[in-house]
Structure 1
Amino acid sequence: MIPLQVPPDLFGPVVREALNILIGSWREGFVQVSGFVGATILLFSLVQYRFDGKLTELLQEHERAQPLVGGLLGLTPGCGGAIIAMPLYIRGTVSFGTVVAALGATAGDSAFIILALAPEAAIYAYGLAFIASVLFGYAIDLWGLGVGRVDRAVERVSRPVTDGGFATTSVADGGPSVPEYERPDHDHGDGGRLPGYLPDSALLERISHGIHVLWWVVLAGALVAGTMYLAKGAVEPAWAVGFSYDGLFTIAGLLGTTLSFYLYFVGRHYIGEGDTGRLRDTFASLYKTFQHAAMETAMVTVWVIAGYLLYEYGMAIFAFDIQSLASSAGVMTPIFGALLGLIPGCAAHIVFAQLYAIEEAVPFSALAANAVSQDGDALFPLMAIDLKAAIIATIYTTVPAVLIGVGLHYFWPYAQYGFGVVG
């Protein structure tokens, strides 16, 4: 992260470092992550709008295909495909094995870096992630694989944050209970009930619609800047304002994140789609389709920035050196790659992908293990709605990741050399 040059005479070194991390994360999160996430969610939403909910019905009718479809959703670069699968589980449309398959197959936004800089490694790593995740998803649905025990263990330390728990005693046996606001008898307006900190205002409703339209313009700019960022080898741009790549990256990043926070905390309560993280069967209009995609992406952006800040401040406070740990000798390297996947979001994994593709500091076995284990931003909607299911899911994506990483380390010669896959 290239720091913003905060004038040294304004603050002390600690405050300057904290501000650099905050503003840098505010800029990078939207361009590096949200631009791609928003485009993918919009694509799936448009498909949903075009087919008027028939795809969801088809998936629900063909239960045996669900983990395979979950894996295919996760296989799409970025996190948008896997994000689509989370609300399907929350509403009881797909199985828990499907969730694990989607989360395990997703390579998050770090996939764009590997695809751009090491495409052959991407084919191997994400192919392995897809196969392992789908097989593991089917195994969970068929045999449980101890999910019930993990379910009970998590129950002792964590409670679902909104819906009061699952309908059954084990995640493997069923899905979550139906939240109150998804019941047919629950009455709420288009934007949901206004929270106490917001007034009933027609002016704010009009402003929110305008900000929603502006948000899409900024997202288009972020998508262009993000693509250029990858084309330039994921080199951090300088801080600039103007008609240049650096200027576009800076303006789109700062403005996009700011607008996303407004939409999530204010705008969605006035213009609709207040129940973010909930899949719609269909949409009343094309505008509503765009609106839904914007609100979903805004929610992901809020979580992404929180993840970026947690990661960056953790690095600064504890001097945690990923490169040193990832370069550890022996089998601990792929195990570390798998355990890193327990961190939600994409920030740590983007750094890890850069260590492989740019710094050549980690072996392919670690990259593949991380590709299976990381859940990307798709875990955030599940965390926001049912924390217990999110914890169990991320534990169960780590298991095949360790097996794949250790297996590659011992049995595939490429894993011994780290960069043999990409020549």
Structure 2
Amino acid sequence: MNDVLAILLESLRDGYVQVSAFVAVTVLAFGLIQYRTNGAVLAALEENEKLQVPFGGLLGLTPGCGGAIVVMPLYVRGSVSFGTVVATLGATAGDSAFVILALAPEAAVYAYAIAFAASVVTGYLVDSVGLGVSRVDAAVAKLSPATPDGGTVVDGGVRPNPAHDYAGPAPTHAHETGPDRHSRVLTPLSHLAHVLWWLAAVAGLVLGTLYLLWGGPEVPITAGADFAGLFTVVGIVGALLSLYLYLVGRHYVGEGEVARARDSFSSVYDTLTHAAMETSFVTVWVLVAFLVYEYFVLVSGANVATLAAAAGVLAPIGGAAVGLIPGCGPQILLASVYADGGLPFSALTANAIAQDGDALFPLLAVDAKAAVVATIYNFLPAVVVGVALNLLWGPVFGMAEFGFGVL
């Protein structure tokens, strides 16, 4: 029971300080740009389709998952192509980027540059060939056509531009205007929770930055005025506030919607509210992923990073397989194993391409089919590039260069 409780508290704390605080800054920055330009950035992106794929790749390349998370609602509203989603998720560096940048910066430059190039090429290929979700639906329809007696109905038509083929479900709790309802108690309480959430986000950003600069040390669960105490208290409080805002507060503050891009915002407070609600939505999914993964490890005793390290010449495939796991926890473990010299560069690069980090959760929650297809599309180039690097240079050559090796 002590282990179960410790995992719960650590997941709440780490999910907020190590992920949510950084996501909040990125989502807020994009929202403020939208507010200041009155939606001009989004309009320009919609009009310049050829720039969408590299734009998504650059957002995914930013350390952490905030930049990539911004792209998912844009796809849901039909503003960017499915190839842009693939490029964004493929280039996503995730939180493991902080580990590699701190411990092996030269290797990080090589790995993420290769991941960016491979992801952009894949994204353009998906758009040019027309491998969007509707194309997959059309193929499924041919293999298993709908039956007149209540069989599965699929979208069998491919639109003129299969790249922008989003036909998934509407975003959760999407409303035209205004919150769901007003309450004398819950409305002011939700506004207070929103303000406190941003205070926790600022504190979490400072603590999370220090944590990364110090190399990601083990932080005990404790309460106090020292770093460990503040790290724990701010993380748990911020996570609980996120749960409240997602489950209750968003119905009384803002528009009650999640996973949807906005053209612009009416005020700075409106922008802050949108960023808080979007980040809280991501936080909930990150917490679920953390708990599922950590409890699985507790029960099974498995260590995915160690398994990948023991794969030998199959290490790149193992690294790509670890990348299939949503969230940043397994990827951070794999990055740590690489920094300790337990993995070749080919496995790190394959993992960098295959991993989607926490950016997959918003899309997974709204349109699981699109999320699965995008993940598969990124797994294939991850294996090809990883195995090619392993065959060309091997897992040993160059390991002494730059401390941890580049090849």
TM-score (norm. length: structure 2): 0.90
How far 1:152 moved relative to its partner?
A: 5.9
Deviations 1:238-296 (Å, cap 9, x if unpaired)? 22322221112111111110000000000001012422110001000001111111111
2:77 — aligned with what? Answer: 91
1:321 — aligned with what? Answer: 303
C-alpha separation in 2, matches of 1:335 and 1:27: 32
Deviations 1:192-249 (Å, cap 9, x if unpaired)? x36xxxxx52211101001101111111111111111111111111223222211121
Confirm whether residue 364 of structure 1 aligns to residue 345 of structure 2. yes
2:251 — aligned with what? Answer: 269
2:102 — aligned with what? Answer: 116
Which residue type is aligned with residue 407 of structure 1?
A
Deviations 1:331-380 (Å, cap 9, x if unpaired)? 311101101111111111122122222x3322211111111111111111
Label 1:168 to 1:352 Cα distance change in 2 as closer, same or farther (>3 A).
Answer: farther
SS in 2 for 1:271: coil
C-alpha separation in 1, matches of 2:294 and 2:256: 30
C-alpha separation in 1, matches of 2:295 and 2:256: 31
Deviations 1:165-212 (Å, cap 9, x if unpaired)? 869458945422375679xxx965412x36xxxxx5221110100110
How far 1:307 moved relative to its partner?
A: 0.4
Confirm whether residue 380 of structure 1 aligns to residue 361 of structure 2. yes
Q: Percent identity?
A: 52
Contact 1:165–1:177 (CA<8 Å) still a contact in 2?
A: no
Contact 2:316–2:383 (CA<8 Å) still a contact in 1?
A: yes
C-alpha separation in 2, matches of 1:115 and 1:211: 35
2:150 — aligned with what? Answer: none
TM-score (norm. length: structure 1): 0.86
Root mean square deviation, CA, Å: 2.6
Confirm whether residue 410 of structure 1 aligns to residue 391 of structure 2. yes
Matching of residues 49-64 of structure 1 within 5 Å:
49-64=35-50
Label 1:65 to 1:314 Cα distance change in 2 as closer, same or farther (>3 A).
Answer: same
Correspondent of 2:282 among 290, 296, 300? 300
* Alignment size in residue pairs: 394
Unaligned runs of 5+ residues in structure 1 are 1-14, 158-163, 195-199
How far 1:79 moved relative to its partner?
A: 0.9
Label 1:135 to 1:176 Cα distance change in 2 as closer, same or farther (>3 A).
Answer: same
Which residue type is aligned with residue 16 of structure 1?
N
C-alpha separation in 2, matches of 1:333 and 1:402: 10
Correspondent of 2:165 among 159, 175, 178? 175
Deviations 1:61-89 (Å, cap 9, x if unpaired)? 11111111111111111111111111111
Correspondent of 1:289 among 267, 271, 277? 271
Matching of residues 28-67 of structure 1 within 5 Å:
28-67=14-53
Label 1:180 to 1:78 Cα distance change in 2 as closer, same or farther (>3 A).
Answer: closer
C-alpha separation in 2, matches of 1:223 and 1:75: 19
C-alpha separation in 1, matches of 2:20 and 2:245: 14
2:319 — aligned with what? Answer: 337
Confirm whether residue 127 of structure 1 aligns to residue 74 of structure 2. no
Label 1:244 to 1:390 Cα distance change in 2 as closer, same or farther (>3 A).
Answer: same
Contact 1:229–1:236 (CA<8 Å) still a contact in 2?
A: no
Unaligned runs of 5+ residues in structure 2 are 145-152
